C-alpha cells in the first residue's frame, strides 16, 4: 500500500515537474505552496460566478480603487474589504447591440479600465460598456456616494474587451508595422519617460524583431512651429539592453513592466536612480524572463549621444555624425518649443531613435528565469530596506503569469565592486497556476507592510515578510537573508524592521551571507562554516541546482518539498536553501498526494485551456497584455495623471501647469479612424501625435 503511495507520489511529482524550473538558476530559498497557512493573506473576490477582470486604478492613501465588472471598488488597504463602490452597468441598448454582434454575455458588460482624478472631488471613469467604450465624470459627495455629472464616448480611451489591449485590436490591419505596446510612463523632473516595446525599425533588414525602448518627452513640449504644431519636438527613444553578456550576448527583448523610479545607494556609496524592468523572450521562443535595472543617468546619457539614421532606404542604420545634427540639438527642453527652428524639428522626425542602447546597471540581469513553468509579468520594488550593517537593499517583488510571486534582492548591490548576487528569498503561490499577475503594489502604513497582488479574478494582500513564523532561532533568522528580518538577541525572536530599530546592537542580521557568529551554533544547517555565496549568474556557466548534490538538505518529509516548480531547491547548499516546511503525518501525506494529483489534473486542464486560447489569439490574449496600458503612477518628481479630456480631434496641446506639474496623458489607445485602420502604428513622434488625444 505504501509502495503504491510512493509510486503515486512519483507520478504526481513527475506530472508536476512538467512545469519544472530554476534549472541552472538560483533556486528560491523558501517556497510557499500553502501561503494561507503561513501568512495572513487577505483576499478580495467580488463575485465568484464570473471573472471581474480586476484592474488596479489608483491608490488613494490607505484605499485602493479597483476596476471590475460594472463596478469600481474602493477597498481598504488594511484588510481588503469593500469600503464603497461605484456601480455602472453597461447601457442596455449597448448590451443589445453587443449581443447582436454575437458577443458573449461575459463580453457584453462594462469593465472599468480607466480612472483619472480631475480634481479632489471629481473623477473620470471609463469602461468597456459592452464593446462600446464610454467615459463618465463623477463628483464625489460628502456622504461617500458619487454623482454622475457627464458622459461621453470612450473609444480611444478604453479598450473594447477587458481581455484585449486596444493597441492590439487596432494593429490588426497594419500587419507590417505593429503598434508599440506601452508598459509604463514615469514623470521625473523635466521629462516624461515611456517604456514600451515595438518592432525594431533598425533591424528590419535582418528580419522582424521586437525591441524594448525608453522614450523621453519634455513636459514643457508645446509642439513645433506651424506644420509641426501637432508633433512633439522633444520625442527621443532608445533601445533598452537587458542581456546576458558574452561574445554573443543573449538579449531579453520584450519589456513587460517597470517599477517606479527608485533612488538608492549602490556599489559601495554610489547614489543612483534606478528603474527596474521585467523582460521576457518572445512568445514564439524558448521561455525566459529577466529583471534588469536601468539608471536614469544612463538613460539621459544615451539621449545625449549619437542619433541613429539611415542615409537612404537601403542603407544601414548608423550613428549620425555630429556635424549633421542641427542646432539647437533636437530633443532638448526649451521654454517654447513652438519657436524652435524648423530644421531642429524636422531632424527629429527622422531621427527619434538614438544610436546607443541604454546599458543595464550592473551590466547583466539582476534576476533570471529560464524554464517553461512561468514567465515574469510584473515588478514592484520596495526600495532601500536598511539592514543592521547600514547597507540598503531594494527588495524586488516579481509577478508571474502562473499565480506566483517572487521576492528577491541583489546581495551584491551594496558592495564596492558592484555586482549581481541574486538571492531569491521566497516564492509565494498567491493564485492558482492559470492566473497571471497583472499588478503589484507595495503598501507601507503605520500598521503594516503589505504587497497587493492583482489578477483578473482576485486581489490579494500578503505581508511583505513573515520573520517570526519563518525562523525560531538566531541562526535560522539570519539564514533567511531577508533584509526585513533580524534576530533580536534580547527578545529572542526573529523580528521585522517596522520601526527601523536596527541601530541597536541587539539585532543580528547578515543578508549578504546568511550567517553570523553571534548566533549560537553558527550555521543553522549543521555544516559549521558559513555557507558559500551564490556565484554571479550567467546562463551558460551556472549550474547551481544540479551541481550541488543532496549533501546537507534537511529531509523534512513535508509536502512543501513537493512544490512543482522548484525541484532544484531541495538540492541546494545547506544553509543557503531550505523549503519552508511543516511536519505532516502519513495520512496527511496521502491526502496531499491525492490533492496533488487532482491539482495536477485541474492545473493541466486549465493550462491546456489557456494555451489553446493563447494559441488562437496569441498577440491579443497574452497574459502580459494587461500591462500594456499606460499605468498611472507617481514618479519621483511629480504626479502623472490620466486626463483624457474627452474627444477633441483638432486641438493640439494644452499648456502645462508649472506649479504642480500635472501631466495629463492618454497614450496607446488610439482612436478608430473612419477606415478602421490604426492611426497609432509606431512609437515615434508622428503616430503618437496623430492620436491627437495627448494633452500636455
Q: Which of residues 232-261 bind its own copies (CB under 8 A)?
A: 244, 246-250
Query: Does 532 participate in binding its own copies (rule CB under 8 A)?
Result: no
Cβ contact 460:76 at 8 Å? no
Query: Does 319 participate in binding its own copies (rule CB under 8 A)?
Result: no
Q: Closest approach of Cβ 566 to its own copies, in Å?
A: 8
Q: Closest approach of Cβ 461 to its own copies, in Å?
A: 29
Query: Does 281 participate in binding its own copies (rule CB under 8 A)?
Result: yes
Query: Does 400 participate in binding its own copies (rule CB under 8 A)?
Result: no
Nearer to its own copies, 189 or 202 (CB): 202
Interface characters, 193-212, with its own copies (x: CB under 8 A): ---------xx-xxxxxx--
Exposed (0-12), middle (13-18) or buried (19+): which is 344, by Cβ within 10 Å?
A: buried
Interface characters, 538-567, with its own copies (x: CB under 8 A): xxxxxx-xxxxxxx-x-xxxx--xx----x
378 secondary structure, DSSP code: E
Task: Single out the segment in contact with its own copies by CB under 8 A; choices: 21-29, 37-45, 91-99, 130-138.
Answer: 21-29
The Cα–Cα gap between 143 and 82 comes to 16
Nearer to its own copies, 415 or 556 (CB): 556
Q: Closest approach of Cβ 327 to its own copies, in Å?
A: 26
Determine the Cα angle at 630 with ends 624 and 635, to 5°: 115
Cβ contact 167:158 at 8 Å? no
If you write DSSP's letter for every residue of 31-45 in order, what string do you get?
EESSHHHHS--EEE-
Q: Which helix (H) or strand (E) holds 345?
A: helix 342-350
Nearer to its own copies, 308 or 633 (CB): 308
- Total interface residues for its own copies by CB under 8 A: 95
Strands 134-140 and 63-67: unpaired
* Of the candidate residues 89, 172, 282, 637, the single one contacting its own copies (CB under 8 A): 282
Beta strands in 336-401 (DSSP E): 358-359, 367-369, 376-386, 392-400
The Cα–Cα gap between 183 and 657 comes to 26
Query: Does 16 participate in binding its own copies (rule CB under 8 A)?
Result: yes
Cβ contact 685:215 at 8 Å? no
Find the binding residues for its own copies in span 114-173 (CB under 8 A).
none
Find the binding residues for its own copies in span 24-43 (CB under 8 A).
24
Find the binding residues for its own copies in span 435-494 (CB under 8 A).
none
* Of the candidate residues 40, 287, 332, 473, the single one contacting its own copies (CB under 8 A): 287
Q: Closest approach of Cβ 574 to its own copies, in Å?
A: 13
Backbone angles phi, psi at 598, to 5 degrees: -60, -45
Query: Does 623 participate in binding its own copies (rule CB under 8 A)?
Result: no
Query: Does 23 participate in binding its own copies (rule CB under 8 A)?
Result: yes
Query: Does 337 participate in binding its own copies (rule CB under 8 A)?
Result: no
Q: Closest approach of Cβ 444 to its own copies, in Å?
A: 36
Note the maximum CA span of the chain: 86
* Of the candidate residues 134, 238, 508, 600, the single one contacting its own copies (CB under 8 A): 600
The Cα–Cα gap between 682 and 200 comes to 10
- The residues, ordered by sequence, that sit 6+ positions from 324 with a Cβ below 8 Å of its Cβ are 309
Cβ contact 312:213 at 8 Å? no
Task: Single out the segment in contact with its own copies by CB under 8 A; choices: 229-237, 335-343, 568-576, 658-666.
Answer: 568-576
* Of the candidate residues 101, 343, 605, 617, the single one contacting its own copies (CB under 8 A): 605
* Of the candidate residues 373, 387, 497, 510, the single one contacting its own copies (CB under 8 A): 373
Strand order in the sheet with 449-454: 42-44, 459-463, 449-454, 439-444
Query: Does 283 participate in binding its own copies (rule CB under 8 A)?
Result: yes
Q: Closest approach of Cβ 623 to its own copies, in Å?
A: 13
Q: Which three cell numbers stand for residue 673?
A: 479612424
Determine the Cα angle at 419 with ends 418 and 423, to 5°: 130
Nearer to its own copies, 211 or 484 (CB): 211
Q: Which three cell numbers stand for residue 135?
A: 467615459
Task: Single out the segment in contact with its own copies by CB under 8 A; choices: 348-356, 475-483, 485-493, 612-620.
Answer: 612-620
Amino acid at each position: 500500500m505504501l509502495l503504491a503511495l510512493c509510486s503515486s507520489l512519483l507520478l504526481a511529482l513527475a506530472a508536476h515537474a512538467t512545469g519544472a524550473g530554476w534549472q541552472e538558476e538560483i533556486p528560491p530559498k523558501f517556497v510557499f505552496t500553502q501561503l494561507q497557512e503561513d501568512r495572513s493573506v487577505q483576499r478580495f473576490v467580488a463575485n465568484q460566478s464570473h471573472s471581474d477582470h480586476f484592474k488596479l486604478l489608483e491608490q488613494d492613501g490607505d484605499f485602493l480603487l479597483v476596476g471590475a465588472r460594472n463596478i469600481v471598488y474602493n477597498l481598504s488597504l488594511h484588510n481588503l474589504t469593500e469600503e464603497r463602490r461605484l456601480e455602472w452597468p453597461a447601457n442596455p441598448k449597448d448590451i443589445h447591440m453587443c449581443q447582436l454582434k454575437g458577443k458573449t454575455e461575459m463580453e457584453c458588460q462594462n469593465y472599468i479600465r480607466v480612472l483619472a482624478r480631475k480634481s479632489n472631488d471629481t473623477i473620470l471613469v471609463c469602461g468597456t460598456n459592452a464593446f462600446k467604450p464610454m467615459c463618465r465624470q463623477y463628483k464625489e459627495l460628502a456622504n461617500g456616494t458619487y454623482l454622475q455629472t457627464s458622459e461621453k464616448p470612450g473609444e480611444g480611451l478604453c479598450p473594447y474587451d477587458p481581455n484585449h489591449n486596444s493597441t492590439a485590436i487596432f494593429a490588426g490591419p497594419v500587419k507590417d508595422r505593429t503598434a508599440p505596446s506601452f508598459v509604463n510612463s514615469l514623470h521625473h523632473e523635466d521629462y516624461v519617460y515611456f517604456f514600451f516595446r515595438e518592432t525594431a525599425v533598425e533591424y528590419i533588414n535582418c528580419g522582424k524583431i521586437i525591441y524594448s525602448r525608453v522614450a523621453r518627452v519634455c513636459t514643457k513640449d508645446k509642439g513645433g512651429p506651424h506644420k509641426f504644431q501637432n508633433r512633439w519636438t522633444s520625442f527621443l527613444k532608445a533601445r533598452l539592453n537587458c542581456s546576458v553578456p558574452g561574445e554573443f550576448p543573449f538579449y531579453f527583448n520584450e519589456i513587460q513592466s517597470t517599477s517606479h523610479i527608485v533612488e538608492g545607494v549602490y556599489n559601495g556609496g554610489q547614489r543612483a536612480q534606478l528603474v527596474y524592468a521585467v523582460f521576457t523572450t518572445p512568445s514564439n521562443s524558448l521561455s525566459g524572463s529577466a529583471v534588469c535595472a536601468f539608471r536614469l543617468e544612463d538613460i539621459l546619457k544615451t539621449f545625449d549621444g549619437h542619433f541613429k539614421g539611415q542615409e537612404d532606404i537601403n542603407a544601414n542604420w548608423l550613428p549620425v555624425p555630429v556635424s549633421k545634427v542641427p542646432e539647437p540639438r533636437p530633443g532638448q527642453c526649451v521654454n517654447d518649443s513652438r519657436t524652435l527652428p524648423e530644421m531642429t524639428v524636422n531632424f527629429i522626425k527622422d531621427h527619434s531613435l538614438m544610436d546607443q542602447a541604454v546599458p543595464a546597471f550592473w551590466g547583466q540581469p539582476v534576476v533570471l528565469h529560464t524554464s517553461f513553468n512561468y514567465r515574469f509579468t510584473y515588478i514592484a520594488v520596495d526600495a532601500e530596506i536598511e539592514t543592521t550593517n547600514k547597507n540598503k537593499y531594494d527588495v524586488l517583488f516579481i509577478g508571474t503569469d502562473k499565480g506566483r510571486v517572487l521576492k528577491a534582492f541583489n546581495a551584491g548591490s551594496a558592495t564596492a565592486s558592484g555586482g549581481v548576487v541574486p538571492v531569491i528569498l521566497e516564492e509565494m503561490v498567491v493564485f492558482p497556476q492559470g492566473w497571471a499577475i497583472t499588478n503589484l503594489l507595495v503598501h507601507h502604513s503605520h500598521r503594516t507592510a503589505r504587497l497587493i497582488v492583482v489578477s483578473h479574478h482576485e486581489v490579494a494582500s500578503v505581508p511583505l515578510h513573515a520573520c517570526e513564523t519563518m525562523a525560531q532561532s538566531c541562526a535560522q533568522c539570519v539564514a533567511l537573508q531577508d533584509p526585513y528580518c533580524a534576530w533580536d538577541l534580547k527578545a529572542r525572536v526573529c523580528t521585522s524592521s517596522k520601526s527601523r530599530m536596527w541601530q541597536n546592537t541587539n539585532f543580528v542580521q547578515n543578508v549578504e551571507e546568511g550567517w553570523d557568529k553571534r548566533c549560537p551554533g553558527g550555521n543553522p544547517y549543521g555544516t559549521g562554516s558559513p555557507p558559500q555565496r551564490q556565484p554571479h549568474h550567467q546562463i551558460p556557466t551556472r549550474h547551481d541546482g544540479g551541481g550541488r548534490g543532496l549533501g546537507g538538505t534537511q529531509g523534512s518529509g513535508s509536502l512543501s518539498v513537493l512544490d512543482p516548480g522548484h525541484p532544484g531547491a531541495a538540492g541546494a547548499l545547506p544553509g543557503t536553501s531550505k523549503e519552508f516546511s511543516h511536519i505532516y503525518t502519513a495520512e496527511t501525506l496521502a491526502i496531499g498526494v491525492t490533492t496533488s494529483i487532482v491539482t495536477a489534473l485541474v492545473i493541466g486542464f486549465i493550462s491546456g485551456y489557456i494555451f489553446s486560447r493563447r494559441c488562437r489569439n496569441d498577440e491579443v490574449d497574452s497574459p502580459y497584455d494587461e500591462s500594456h496600458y499606460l499605468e498611472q503612477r507617481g514618479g519621483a518628481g511629480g504626479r502623472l495623471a490620466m486626463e483624457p479630456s474627452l474627444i477633441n480631434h483638432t486641438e493640439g496641446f494644452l499648456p502645462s501647469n508649472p506649479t504642480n506639474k500635472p501631466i495629463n496623458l492618454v497614450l496607446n489607445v488610439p482612436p478608430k479612424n473612419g477606415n478602421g485602420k490604426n492611426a497609432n502604428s509606431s512609437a515615434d513622434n508622428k503616430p503618437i501625435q496623430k492620436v491627437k488625444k495627448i494633452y500636455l
